[in-house]
Structure 1
Amino acid sequence: MLLCRYIPLLAAVVKQFIDFIPLILFFIVYKLEPRAVELAGQSFTLGGIFSATAVLIAASVVVYGTLLVLQRKLEKGQWLTLVACLLFGGLTLAFHSETFLKWKAPVVNWLFALAFAASHFIGDKPLIQRAMGHAIGLPPHIWTRLNLAWVVFFLICGFANLFVAFTFPSIWVDFKVFGSLGMTVLFLVGQGVFLARHAHDVDPKPTAETKE
């Protein structure tokens, strides 16, 4: 019974780590010493920001393409992440400037924050309730507070990535991966603690009002 209450949280954790797969591959390639490799009779440079960006784009297409085939759909957030990767990654390669890629994380996080904030005024449920309400029941004011917490989280992540990228350029890739991952893990743990505090308010069998 208790486990059922936290299935949505576990699903959110799994989803977050899936989203980090392309980023982790990006980090690995970025840290390699530049070297020439042969692939399909063509010579490529592997290592450094630009080859890492190409790997990020390819890995994102593979990961989200696989999810699309398996699930027959992608969530709006996953579409946003994929499109942002193609756009900012493509601009980075086209203009040979990492500045475009530095803006990817801030822009994506702020768009997520905007979407969560807008859901308070558009539609009949906060976005977090639409995502988790089918599996867990909470009073309306708790859903509102949880949704606002996601807004704040995405705003902080966006500004943190922007600050580090343009103030400490030597470590921005490290922060992009481990800083973002660390903030995500801490936030999800905090969300779990928040839900545990309100365990007496949780209805493990949501009523019709909590379902989409």
Structure 2
Amino acid sequence: MKFLADFFPVILFFVAYKLYGIYVATAVAIASSVVQVAYGWLRKRHVEKMHLITFGILLVFGGLTILLQDRTFIMWKPSVINWLFGATFLASQYIGKKPLVQRMMESSISVPDPVWKRLNLTWSLFFILLGFLNLYVANDFFVVEHQLMELTGLQQIDYDNCSQHFQGNELEMCNTAHTLEETWVNFKLFGIMGLTLGFIILQAFYLARHINDDEPESINT
């Protein structure tokens, strides 16, 4: 349930995008993130740092997306968030007495310190690679959009109504850009969430192999 709760704004973004387009979806994601933070505070008088960081970045990049009518900002947001998380985990590997993943999980599981350090480093690499993967998926859209803007001289393009504004090659490019935008939105939900869930499952198997390593050996009497 917590896994789904963490992806609550992303799920609502996906639904709103399918119904109303990317700008309404961005506004919905910001509103749902506000609800997520407020609910945590009202229920527990505590807000998870991850939710606060995500809300702050979403507010900045989502706000710029809506204000400037430029979807580039919201498409960069997942990369910025994942790189920030990756850098935080990596910094905790060398700063402080315990890596971040150990501080988060040691109350419920006990494994040797070297296992915590390896797991923490793996989480850092996962977040960093996920950020680059998001850009890789979004880059095809950026390329086509740039070409279409150069061809038409427009700075803002309504990809939801390509046939109303373009003909011929321009229409084909607009439809291609819209398809690539949809591909990114699908990846944002199913790709990132699926990869994260798969990584968590692999982490559980890895921890299960070492969970008894930290227990003292029994003494035969």
Shorter-chain TM-score tier: 0.7 to 0.9
Name the amino acid aligned to 1:21. F
User: Per-residue displacement from partner, 1:30-81 (whole Å, max 9, x unpaired)?
Assistant: 011xxxxxxxxxxxxxx00001111111111011210121121112222111
Match of 1:9 in 2: none
| Alignment counterpart, residue 136 of structure 1, candidates 106, 109, 114 | 109
* Number of residue equivalences: 176
Name the amino acid aligned to 1:149. T
Give ranges in structure 1 of 5+ residues lacking alignment: 1-13, 33-46, 204-212
Name the amino acid aligned to 2:107. H
Larger relative CO (CA 8 A, sep 6+): 1 or 2? 1
Q: Secondary structure at the match of 2:7?
A: helix
Inter-partner Cα distance in structure 1 for 2:93 and 2:55: 25
- Normalising by structure 2, we get a TM-score of 0.76
Please tell me whether the aligned partners of residues 23 and 69 of structure 2 are also in contact (alpha carbons under 8 angstroms): yes
Please tell me whether the aligned partners of residues 136 and 202 of structure 1 are also in contact (alpha carbons under 8 angstroms): no
Structure 1 moving runs of 4+ over 6 Å: none
| Alignment counterpart, residue 175 of structure 1, candidates 187, 195, 215 | 187
Inter-partner Cα distance in structure 2 for 1:95 and 1:185: 34
Higher strand share: 1
Name the amino acid aligned to 1:181. M
Give ranges in structure 2 of 5+ residues lacking alignment: 142-179, 216-221
The alpha-carbon deviation at position 196 of structure 1 amounts to 1.5
Inter-partner Cα distance in structure 2 for 1:21 and 1:83: 16
Mean alpha-carbon deviation: is it higher for 167-176 or for 136-145? 167-176
Match of 1:146 in 2: 119
User: Per-residue displacement from partner, 1:125-169 (whole Å, max 9, x unpaired)?
Assistant: 000011111222111100001101101110111111111012253
Match of 1:96 in 2: 69
Kindly report the root-mean-square deviation, in angstroms, between the aligned alpha carbons of the 2 structures.
1.2
Mean alpha-carbon deviation: is it higher for 108-117 or for 75-84? 75-84
Inter-partner Cα distance in structure 2 for 1:105 and 1:70: 27
Mean alpha-carbon deviation: is it higher for 69-78 or for 112-121? 69-78
| Alignment counterpart, residue 75 of structure 1, candidates 39, 48, 54 | 48
| Alignment counterpart, residue 85 of structure 1, candidates 58, 77, 93 | 58
**Which structure has the bigger radius of gyration?**
2
Give the percent of matched residue pairs that are identical in Structure 1 and Structure 2: 48
Inter-partner Cα distance in structure 1 for 2:137 and 2:42: 36
Match of 2:171 in 1: none
Inter-partner Cα distance in structure 2 for 1:202 and 1:140: 9
